[in-house]
Structure formats: C-alpha cells, structure tokens
Amino acid sequence: MSVLRLALPTPLRRLFDYLPPEGLSAHSMRPGQRLRVPFGKREMVGILVEVSRETQLSPAQLKHAIEVLDAEPLPNPALIKLCLWAADYYLHPTGEVIASAFPSALRRGTELPEPGESGWRLTSRAQGLPDGALSRSPRQAQAIELLGDGKAHTARELRDAGIKNDVMRRLTERGWVVPCRVESTPDALAATSGHELNAAQSAAVMAINDTLGEFHAHLLEGVTGSGKTEVYLGAIAACLGRGQQALVLIPEIGLTPQTLSRFEARFKATVCCFHSGLTDRQRLDSWAQAQCGAAAIVIGTRSAVFTAMPRLGLIVVDEEHDASYKQQDGFRYSARDVAVKRAQLERCPVVLGSATPSLESLHNAVRQRYRHHRLEERAGKAVLPELQVIDLRRKPLYGGLSEPLLQRARDTLSTGSQVLLFLNRRGYAPALRCHDCGWIANCSSCDARLTVHRARGQLRCHHCGATEQLPRSCPDCHSDALMTQGLGTEQAEDAIRAKLPEWRTLRVDSDSTRSREALDKILHEVSSGEPCILLGTQMLAKGHHFPGVSLVGIIDADAMLFSGDFRGEERMAQMLTQVAGRAGRAGQPGYVLLQSHHPDHPALQAMLQTSYHRRALDLLDERGERQLPPTGQLALLRADCSDAAAGEAFLTSLRAHLMPTLPAGVQLVGPLPAPMHRRAGKFRWHLLLQGGHRSAVRTASALAVSKAESLRAPGDCKWSVDVDPTEPL
Ligand code: ADP
Ligand code: ZN
Ligand code: ZN
C-alpha cells in the first residue's frame, strides 16, 4: 500500500500521511500537486511531497484525501527539494516553509490561472454593432472602443486607460464583454544594447556566462557606481539566449520601479515583479507567468527566492549584504543563503553583487568557494568621492548641522548640484524629557523611549507601534518645561528649511513616503536634476542612482559607532559606504562630509583611510579569532513571555536537558535577556549556541528544538529558533 506524504500549513514539524482520493492510485500522483484533505474537523490544502510505501499510521487511522487540485505539479522537483532543505536547515515546520513558496490564493486552493494575464474581450454580440449603439456612459464607451480592435486587452491596460473594474463588471452584466486570459507575446531578446562594457565588467560577464548550465557562486564586488547592473544584464542576456529564465532578488525598498524599467527597457521579454504593493490577484497572475515559463525574468524581494520557475538558469542577488534578505519572524531564513542553495539544486550560477559584501560572502570568496570578481573603479567618467570628517566638538549646531556643512551645501547648490543629507532616525527627536524633574517619556510595553513626532502631535514607539498624544506638561511634576533630546529627520528638515530657505528640501523616510506614489514623486523630482536637498534615512542609501548629487553629508556619523553587537562595525561601514556612494555618480566629482564628535575613533578613521574591502578583511580576521560568524556558527533559541521570569526558567530547563548530550565544540551562552529585554509587553530571553563547526552547531540546535518541543512552555511563553541569527545579540 502506498501513502501520500503531504506538507500541511501547520506549526507541527512533520509531514502528514493520507490515502489517495477514492478511486485514484497513489502512483498517478507527483510531488508538487496540491490536494484538499480532511484535517480534524476542517479541510486543508496540502502539497504532495512524496509517495511512500511506509507509514506510522494504522490503516484505521489513514484517511483519504478529498481531491487533487492540480493536473500537473506546480513547483518543479528542485524547488520542493529546496523547501525541504530549508525546513531542515532552519529547523522550521515543513508545511509552513512550503506554504511560503506559494501565493496565498493557491494556498487557499484557488485554481492556477492559465498562462497569460487576466483581461477582457468583446463578445460576438457586441461586435458589429454600430458605434455609439452600445453605451452612453463615456467610460463604458471608451472601454468598448478600446476593445473594438478585436483583440483581448489586459485588465492592466484598461486600468492604465482609467477604466475601473466596476465599469467592466457592468459591461459583463450587459453581455458585451467577457473575461479572458491574454497571452503575452513570445519573447524577442535583447531589445536594446547597453553601455559598451569596460574591461572589468566584460571579464565578470564572461566568467559568469562561462558557468551557465552548472552551479557556481560568484561574488561581484564592485564599488558604488561601478556598473554592477550592466554585469547582471550581460549575464541575463546570455541566460535568456539559452532559453532559460533569470531570477533577480533586490532588497525591500522603493527601488522596484527603477529596476523594473531598467530591465524592461533592455529586454523585450516578459518581466514579472514581486513586491509588497501587489494585490493577491496580481501576485497570482505573476506567479502563474513565472511557473509556466512565460516570464523570462522574475524580479522580487526576499520571498521571491521561492518562486516556481521551470527553466531557471541564473540567480542574481543585488545588494547581497542587505539586512532585508533575512526574515526576522516566523520562518526565519536568509534569502541570500537560500538563493545559493537553490542555484546548487537547479545547477545554475548565482551572482551575489554588492559594493559592500557581507563578511559571510567575502569569507566564501577568500576561501575560494565563490569566484570573486572585482570592479574597483566607477563606470564611465565618474570617480569615487572624497571623504572628510567635520569635527563637531565645540562647534555651534543648528538642528544638528554645523556651519561648515551648511556652507558646503550652499556652495554645492549654487553650482547647480544636488545635496544629500543622511540621518538614520525618523521623527522629530528620539526622546522627550522634563527639564524640572528629569521624567522621560518611555513606552509602557517596551524598554524603549518614545520618539517625538511633532507634526502629528504624537509620541510613538518605534518598536511596538504604540502612539500617544504629545503631552503639554510633565505627567509627574506638571511642569511645562518639556524638552526634546536628540535629533530626527523632522527636526533636521525644519533646520535645513530655515538655514537654506532658497532651496527645495525633500524628506525621504518611512513617514514621508507612506504611500508608494509619494516616494515615486520625490524620486521623479530628484531625477529632474534641479538643485535640491534630499534629507533622509537609510531608504536613501540603498542602490539609488542620483546623477545630480555631488555632496553627501552624514549628519550623525557617531550614531553607529558604539554598537555593542559584533556586527556593529560591519553594518556601520556598509551603511556609510553606501550613503557616501550616492555622491558624484555622474560626471562631476563627489564629496562626502561626515559630522562626528569622535573624529579619531578607529572605525571612522578606517572609513577614511582604507577601502571597505580592506577593512572587511581585517574584520574577518577578528571574527575568526573570536569564533564568530562567518568563521564560527551561531544558532539562537528565543523565548518571549509576558511573565518576566518564565522565559528564563524555560530556557534554563532547556539548557539543563541539553547539557548531557551536547556535541563537543558547542558552547551554550545564556539564558540572557535580549538587548531590548521587554518589547510589545513581552520579556525576551536568549539562549545562544555557538561553535566552530557548522555540523556540531546544527546537531545541537536540532536537539534543542526537539527538547523544546517536548518541554511544556509555561503560560503564553513562545519559543523560536533562529539559525544564523543576524539581529543584535
Ligand atoms: P552600481 O550598481 O554598481 O552602483 P550602476 O549599475 O547603477 O552601478 O551604474 C552606475 C552608472 O554607470 C549608471 O548610470 C550606468 O548606466 C553607468 N554605466 C555602467 N556601465 C557603464 C559603462 N561600461 N560605460 C559607461 N557608463 C556605464
Ligand atoms: Zn517633570
Ligand atoms: Zn513600545
């Protein structure tokens, strides 16, 4: 007897056995098909992972699946293998991992749309009637005229023409239009040719293209503005030329429209884009295009690494060092690391690109596990910017800005260039204090101060989202001598407007760009090239190409200097190098001014005197000496509870259970309180597993997870495991 082994979306760390639906043979089924099955009193949609001859269940316990939902498997075998690997590696329930590889509509059991986009065509009834006979509503008439060319049009085209869905619904009710699928036209490749590549770019493209059809990991380390995108495009062209698909991962940011248009302009191919702004329906349609092979290029953020693609030939991870590739809740995985594994399973090359590669990737390149390609100069006529520190000590400050920085900004603007000012803290000020009694506005659910948002008249917690009215007087002593402490973008904006009133100031942070359109509008304005001041948080640091910016000012270079985390300096160097890299990307030379109260701090001096590359190699040595990643391995068990002591007790007991069977070479550290001990009302505890060998730490973490499952967590205590954690410890 054969059983179907299914992944179901439950938090249980196992697969579930079923008999095939009545009348069907298990051997007619293939991994990757969805089935509807009974589960307790409910029904669930599961994915077939394997057909097996063995089962732990007795015949009486085995139930029949209800129905098979797909005629063909949705993901290819390599993608299922990838999910199984990820579940095993990240010690996460298989069902939840596999679920993350599907759009939510498919998880609910919706039929896979046929290839093509959803769209509309005229019915035969509506064809041939004289103009104007059909409708007096101008929108309806417009829709009919558009469809009157006899072709089907996509819903997107109609929306772009200003025709809303309810117009189409009314036309459907009248029997004049019907929904249909619109096939995309077959791909003609290489629409336009790009820049003529320089020697370093060509060498990288050739080396990557040489490995098409087999697994190889490439680290493309190219300074900011060195033309890494041209290298990706060159490799993608070769990949598409072989009739294969390319997957491009980008960080979670407003980059999407820019990147998308750059790819669409280059190739006359279907490009599908996955980002957080899609509706469920759009996501499903794009997924179907990728899954059937119609989409030549898939671009997406983190979770797109699991997109089903039958002919995957190349994976690119742009800005591979970016923290957003790590999912920090639920299924905690690194999309970059999953991408490398996927390339291995699909036997294709993967390109990790960055100006500031993660120490993990650099380590692999140094040990020659990855091929290393370096672009050490900027493309075209651009040169790397010059860095200089402004010693802030004893200098008067206006909203955090010193006179030398303001003067340079004025000079730059009056030559017609743009200025970018970087301050990685949104809101008006990070704290509110009473001058008379010393009271500080703290969050009632977190160990954190509330941020002052003056424009909205609010205090906000940036950790749990709590908001309060901005008080007029001190709640403790009723004095009205409340004062803000520290500096946020809102306050800096006020100061800049006051000091440089004749120039436009554009603020870019997650408050000012709540809607997608807002950021697009700002980026559009910047691209006009008119002199202006761009002020913003790390949203500005990532990947943007601002040809008009020739001065970058880092308002608070000290903000990241005293991090207690072992990755602190790596992060600081990446962030500052990336921000600095926005300067002077076109013809004119760029300058970067860093404001600091600690101009002699070794980490700042390192920024000025050596390249990121050199500094990163030194940091890599330090990590090695301390057995920290990437040399050493880490896994973290967390426990979050409303009770202050329960999490500690749980992890202490887990530790005691673990000790007797702990593999040699693994140390347990903790339980220790997390750096922010209380967050959103939960007390958070860590138990860290650390060791020099991946396999030993792996064995220990798997053991810890099975022990944790068998121990009863007290009260509302929630535990989780984080393999290769990246959050500060
Ligand atoms: P990176 O991603 O490495 O920061 P980009 O790919 O955005 O850099 O390229 C920076 C700029 O240089 C872009 O405007 C791009 O069009 C231009 N560029 C890239 N390659 C070349 C080249 N070979 N010759 C001239 N300009 C180039
Ligand atoms: Zn007070
Ligand atoms: Zn809070």
**Would you state the pLDDT for residue 131?**
61
- For β-strands 297-300 and 271-274, DSSP reports them as parallel
Q: Do the Cβ atoms of 444 and 475 come closer than 8 Å?
A: no
d(CA 118, CA 157): 10
Q: Give the residue among 350, 353, 323 at the shortest CA–CA distance from 338.
A: 350
- The strand ranges marked E within 293-427 are 297-300, 312-318, 349-354, 371-375, 386-391, 397-398, 401-402, 418-422
What's the pLDDT tens digit per position in 579-591? 888 888 777 788 9
Position 199: which residue type? A
**Backbone Cα Rg of the chain:** 28
- Mutating to test ligand 1, I would choose from 226, 230, 261, 352 the residue with most ligand atoms within 8 A of its C-beta, which is 230
Residue 223 CA: nearest ligand 1 atom is 3
Q: Ligand 1 centroid to 382 CA: how many Å?
A: 9
Q: Ligand 1 centroid to 650 CA: how many Å?
A: 53
Cis peptide preceding 396, ω within 30 of 0? no
The β-bridge partners of 549 are 418
**Would you state the pLDDT for residue 129?**
67
d(CA 622, CA 616): 10
Q: Do the Cβ atoms of 402 and 394 come closer than 8 Å?
A: no
**Would you state the pLDDT for residue 188?**
47
Phi first, then psi: what are they for 249, rounded to 5°? Answer: -100, 140
Residue tagged 């030379």 (tokens): 589
- The strand ranges marked E within 355-407 are 371-375, 386-391, 397-398, 401-402
**Would you state the pLDDT for residue 192?**
65
Note the ligand closest to the C-alpha atom of 584.
Answer: 1
Token pair listed for 244: 């294969």
Q: Do the Cβ atoms of 683 and 719 come closer than 8 Å?
A: no
Cis peptide preceding 630, ω within 30 of 0? yes
Note the ligand closest to the C-alpha atom of 433.
Answer: 2
Q: Ligand 1 centroid to 588 CA: how many Å?
A: 15
Q: What is the DSSP letter of 644?
A: T
Is the distance from the beta carbon of residue 578 to the nearest atom of ligand 1 less than 6 Å?
no
Residues in the 5 Å CB sphere of ion ligand 2: 434, 436-437, 439, 474, 476-477, 479
Q: Beta-carbon neighbour count of residue 448 at 10 Å?
A: 18
Note the ligand closest to the C-alpha atom of 461.
Answer: 3
Is the distance from the beta carbon of residue 384 to the nearest atom of ligand 1 less than 6 Å?
no
Handedness of CA 707, 5, 342, 233 (dihedral sign): negative
Residue 231 CA: nearest ligand 1 atom is 6
Q: Do the Cβ atoms of 319 and 538 come closer than 8 Å?
A: no
Q: Ligand 1 centroid to 553 CA: how many Å?
A: 23
Is the distance from the beta carbon of residue 425 to the nearest atom of ligand 1 less than 6 Å?
no
Token pair listed for 199: 């020697």
**Would you state the pLDDT for residue 181?**
72
Instruction: Give pLDDT < 50 ranges for the chain.
Output: 186-188
